[in-house]
Every structure is written in C-alpha cells, then in structure tokens.
Amino acid sequence: MTEPAPVFAKGVDHERITEQLRFVLETDKLKRVLRRNTLIDGSRRENAAEHSWQLALAARTFAEYAPKGTDISHVVEMLVLHDIVEIDAGDTFVYDTHESASQPERERAAADRLYALLPGDQNAHTRALWEEFEARETREARFAHAIDRLAPMLANWHTEGGAWVRHRVTRDQVLDKVRIIGEGSRALGAYAAALVEDADRRGYFTRPASRG
C-alpha cells in the first residue's frame, strides 16, 4: 500500500518531522525482537519493546531506592532508548559468552544506523544517552543497569526458573549480575541477592560440574 502524502501545518519543518517519523516507525521493529524470558504467565516470550516499557515503569516505581540525587527522568529516557539497537543487533542472552563477545560491535553498528535516522540534534542526544548507559559511569546509568538486570530475574523467578532452567544457568552466573544491581542500588541489590538464594533453594539453577 502506498503511503499517503504527508500534510503538515504551516510553520512545521517538513524535513525534520519526516526524519522523526522515520525513526519512530523504524522502532516498531523492536516489537518483533524476542527475548529469552517469557511473560509472567508463561504464555509466550517477551519482546524487547515490552521489556523497555516495563523498565521505564520500574524505574519510576523504584525511584526511592536510587542513590540520592539521581535524575529519574534521565534514567527513564535512557531505559526507553537503550534497547533500540536490538532492532539490528538482536537480543543477546546475558549468559551466552559466545554471543556476548560480539555484542559491543553489533550494537555499536546498530546505534550508528538507528539513531542517525533522527535530526542531528536528537541523534546527538540519544546517542549520548546510549553511550552513557553502556559506560555505566554515572549514578543514573548504574541505576538504569540495576533495573535492567532485575527485571528478567523477576520474570525467571515467577516462572519457576524460566530461562535459568532452560539454558542451564548456574547460581554463580546470576550472582555476577546481582553485583551490577548492587552497584546501582543497595536496596535492589539486597533484594536480588535474596531472590537468588530463594531460587537456589527451589532448585532453579544448574549445579556446576564437579571436578575429579
């Protein structure tokens, strides 16, 4: 079907709004990117757009557990934008060491293409947010990472181990991610650690192979 010719109000920068529309329409593809974990009811796999929405909501909800002075609006904007690169790069399972090795290169190439669809000033702004998230050097980025790591843990616990069981993930592998949560929020890190211990008692983790 041929797209209708756009009709803009007087005074609107046609070129600018066309670039913005192109970016927004391109992000619709994020709804097709499936993640490893399922919805809480186990009915299907979660997609990356749903994940981004829930992260933004969680950041607002858990704002009181962020370090003092954290700009939560900045965190929310970062969380909404950071997974857009998965349109090109795909979702990388955090416990897959082979996929994770190529993740930075794949996602950087995706950022180069996708954020550049925006007008220059917005491209610079969104790219800077993505770079900030990746660097994990500001309190906002660390809190954003805490939220990003906690969400799939909650999904896995509520689905009797979920992706942990399917992909034979160990307790120590998950505890390594808990460290990242703790760096962004002491309270959420403590909760995540308790969640892991409970999951271990329930038998959701694969035991490491014994030596000898």
Give me the domain span that covers residue 108. Answer: 47-201
For residue range 25-75, what is the model confidence (pLDDT) as tens digits? 999 999 999 999 999 999 999 999 999 999 999 999 999 999 999 999 999
In a domain, 137, yes or no: yes
* Secondary structure (3-state) at 26: helix
DSSP H/E element including 142: helix 139-158
Per-residue pLDDT at 210: 62
What is the C-alpha to C-alpha distance for residues 27 and 93, in angstroms, rounded to an integer?
21
What is the C-alpha to C-alpha distance for residues 125 and 115, in angstroms, rounded to an integer?
9
In a domain, 24, yes or no: no
**Which tokens belong to 83?**
């997974």
Answer whether residue 208 shows pLDDT above 90: no
- Residue 121 φ/ψ, nearest 5 degrees: -70, -40
| Sign of the Cα pseudo-torsion (135, 138, 144, 148, in order) | positive
What is the C-alpha to C-alpha distance for residues 89 and 67, in angstroms, rounded to an integer?
31
- Single-letter code of the amino acid located at 139: R
What is the C-alpha to C-alpha distance for residues 4 and 158, in angstroms, rounded to an integer?
45
In a domain, 94, yes or no: yes
In a domain, 180, yes or no: yes
- How close are the terminal C-alpha atoms of the chain, in Å? 65
For residue range 104-145, what is the model confidence (pLDDT) as tens digits? 999 999 999 999 999 999 999 999 999 999 999 999 999 999
Q: What is the pTM of this model?
A: 0.92
Per-residue pLDDT at 12: 84
In a domain, 141, yes or no: yes
In a domain, 18, yes or no: no
Total tally of structural domains belonging to the chain: 1
| Sign of the Cα pseudo-torsion (129, 135, 138, 142, in order) | positive
Answer whether residue 212 shows pLDDT above 60: no
Q: CATH number for the domain including 196?
A: 1.10.3210.10
Q: To the nearest 10°, report the CA torsion of 148, 158, 87, 188.
A: 0
| Angle at the Cα of 200 from the Cα atoms of 195 and 201, rounded to 5 degrees | 100
- Concatenate the DSSP letters of all residues of 44-85 into one string: SEEEHHHHHHHHHHHHHHTGGGSPTT--HHHHHHHHHHHGGG
In a domain, 155, yes or no: yes
What is the C-alpha to C-alpha distance for residues 57 and 175, in angstroms, rounded to an integer?
24
In a domain, 38, yes or no: no
